[in-house]
Amino acid sequence: MTAFLPEFIGTALLLLLGNGVNANVSLQKSNGNSSGWIVIAFGWAMAVFVGVYVCASLGGSSHLNPAVTIADAIKTNNWAKAPMFILAQMLGAMTGAFLAWLAYRSHFDATTDANAMLAVFCNAPAIPNTFNNMMTEIIGTFALVFGAFSMSGARINDVGISLGALDALPVALLVLAIGLSLGGPTGYAINPARDLGPRIVHFILPIKNKRDSNWGYSWIPVVGPVIGAVIAALVFKAFH
């Protein structure tokens, strides 16, 4: 339970702030409506920073992502905590998505675009193509996992690099770079819990004028990140 709670709280904060910036940009009558992709990418990067920082401060591993948990288990050959972490991440993602909806409930009621409401919760491809969408998620998650693993073990002249209290910042900047560079085709899920948890919440919640939850696409933001993370872990191990 000691490891469960930090992952749960960190992931809940990640989705509260991440889905929150989606809602701010996408929903009608919000002060941030139509403020654009840079706001979304920066908001998600800061959501990662807060989630990772808080989880670490509570003694957690700050994965916040089943793909990262699976990659870490491959890297360390230790699967003992992986199921508990993934459960915490899924429940945290659902909780954060619910709280974001609660904060923007009146704006959901004021919004007539059902696709915009769905976009608050989960990803959708700009151009639907199963192979291309899958490859985008694989590549984006490879960059996330390989980059994060490399940053966590970075050394100069055999001296470990540390930013002290800002050690979560490099990963946040990595997520910002992925969003700005690779986010266009699919919205860069790069995290199965980040997409599937909120998608389930969208399905459950009594949102006025909502559309279906696009379950036909839902497996790609789960399978793609897992494949990308596994490849990243294997490549990282090959170099270390």
- What is the tens place of the pLDDT at every residue in 159-214? 444 444 447 899 999 999 999 999 999 999 999 999 999 999 999 999 999 999 99
Return the pLDDT at 151: 86
Report the range of poorest mean pLDDT among 53-62, 142-151, 159-168, 227-236. Answer: 159-168
Is residue 218 within 8 Å of 133, Cβ to Cβ? no
**Alpha carbon of 87 to those of 62, 80, 158, 234, 238: distances in Å?**
14, 13, 37, 24, 29
Q: What is the CATH number of the domain that holds 170?
A: 1.20.1080.10
| Cα gap 8→171, rounded to integer Å | 19
Report the range of poorest mean pLDDT among 43-47, 119-123, 168-172. Answer: 168-172
Amino acid at 45: A
Q: What pTM was estimated for this model as a whole?
A: 0.94
For residue 153, name the pLDDT band (cuts at 50, 70, 90).
low
- Domain range spanning residue 126? 4-239
User: How many structural domains compose the chain?
Assistant: 1
Please count the other Cβ atoms lying within 10 Å of the Cβ belonging to residue 178.
21
Return the pLDDT at 168: 83
Return the pLDDT at 1: 55
| Cα gap 229→232, rounded to integer Å | 5
Q: Which residue has the tokens 């948990």?
A: 69
Whole-number average pLDDT of the chain: 93
In whole angstroms, what separates CA 31 from the centre of its chain? 24
Is residue 105 within 8 Å of 23, Cβ to Cβ? no
Report the range of poorest mean pLDDT among 2-16, 140-154, 220-234. Answer: 140-154
